[in-house]
Chains A and B, each alone.
Chain A
């Protein structure tokens, strides 16, 4: 009795401390959200007060003045297509590398894995893209993102495909299926949850990134959300209400994805933690 009681008290203390510390995260986020509805004079106190009058018009103004609709679409294209390419290419590659179990397959796996570690060489990548003749374009950025995320995806897919019994594909092969048939009809349906994990993780990292657009998107008509907000921030640094509205808008898609995709994010993290 004494022990369980002590345990209960300890839990209450821990919980109280945690709730207090969580304010460190909640307060800045609320300052941003409330600020996005304030007038440009009221917002300058950067305080936790509720807006005196909720200025929903801030959001309308952001769309009119910031070119945000275009940036939103650019971001959507870039993120969506690069995730799709990444998913198909990486899962197909992992499937073969896992099933082959040869020295070559193992070496290729390590070759991909190096991409998780090595930093990208930005300036020479620009050189390569220029040489291919599409520097500054959205397709170049899509392919760069697909390439940068290959290592992570191959790592996740390989871990999962190892757990699918080989007997399944052997039966299909004996019945005369091709390797494409086996991959698309047998393996792909089984790895759908991993596809969701990869899609969410890649989507979030690409959507939030500012580095690649900074180097590779030279024309403002191709800018993504973060880059166009960064420039808006430089130009309109007095209108903090509008800046905050922009920030809320760019965070919304990842936040929604997080709400509905938590399960898949956790399974991705677990793969890393348990396999180490």
Chain B
């Protein structure tokens, strides 16, 4: 049998490996190197400057704001997408007449481009836009806001739009998880006299753990990598109020400060890896013990 194993030639891995390395891995490693240089559009030479780019990131007001906004966006969307997703999944796992149609409706925004969603929401979120007019109409004038132009709330508005778009995607993963739980557990619990809440916390949540894990990881990584939402809705404005790491990289690229832009990218790389690897190891271990 040993000889048969060798027949599985590594040549078949080569195309995927080459494409992946050339366009993803090599740039990532090059990124580490260029983060420590003064690589700029207007300079002919590239010199090593140590940690200078990184100290700049933490001392520049706009750049620290971008880091803060990225964190706010990531945390808000992780909480929002998962809470809404799990509530929708549990509700749409009940025997409702319209559940297939409702599932399709709640999932549908996640197949649209953020460009479409961003452009549709922009006029609706103006001071005199549809959202504020609706709030006025139901007597909630006090809640109306300059959603995309008030610097203190703009990043939250963007987070809510992202939750609006993707909670249905999280819902679909939770639904798949729910459907893999055997009904027998619930029947046994009913016989033992357990109420709905008890069933949810003692049966549903623990058995939903794989789906919760994958969803937390997807939303967290996606949240830290945020770019398109901010780019389409505000471009980082008003002023720099909604800049995030992703938009700062684009700005540095446009300004020709490539070394600095790469350093910010490296910072994101390290942050995402540090957060995701322990989660990943935890998940792999569980897979082995299964």
Using a CB–CB distance below 8 Å, which chain A residues touch chain B? 11, 14-15, 17-19, 22, 24-26, 28-29, 31-32, 46-47, 85, 88-90, 92-93, 95-97, 99-102, 108, 112-113, 115-129, 132, 143-144, 146-148, 150-151, 154, 170, 173, 179-180, 183, 204, 207-211, 214-215, 226, 229-230, 233, 240, 243-244, 247, 250-251, 254-255, 257-258, 262, 265-266, 269-270, 272-276
Contacts and interface: CB of A to CB of B under 8 A. Distances in A.
Contact of B232 (A24, A230, A243): A230
Interface string B153-183: 0000000000010001000111011001000
Contacts, number: 257
Contacts of A150: 16, 19-20, 24
A92 B130 contact: no
Interface string B255-286: 00010011001101100110011001001001
Contacts of B130: 31, 46-47
Given A25-B105, A125-B23, A210-B228, A274 B13 contact: no
Interface stretch (B51-59, B71-79, B89-97, B140-148): B89-97
B23 A144 contact: yes
B232 A210 contact: yes
Interface in B225-253: 225, 227-228, 231-232, 246, 249-250, 252-253
Contacts of B102: 18-19, 22
Closest 7 CB pairs of A and B: A276-B210, A208-B113, A121-B31, A147-B23, A93-B16, A273-B176, A89-B16
Contact-residue bracket for chain B: 35 or more
Interface in B89-128: 91-92, 94-98, 102, 104-106, 108-109, 111-117, 119-121, 123-124
Contact of A243 (B23, B119, B168, B180): B119
Interface of B: 4-5, 7-13, 15-17, 19-20, 22-24, 26-28, 30-31, 34, 88, 91-92, 94-98, 102, 104-106, 108-109, 111-117, 119-121, 123-124, 129-130, 164, 168, 172-174, 176-177, 180, 209-211, 213-214, 221, 224-225, 227-228, 231-232, 246, 249-250, 252-253, 258, 261-262, 265-266, 268-269, 272-273, 276-277, 280, 283, 286-287
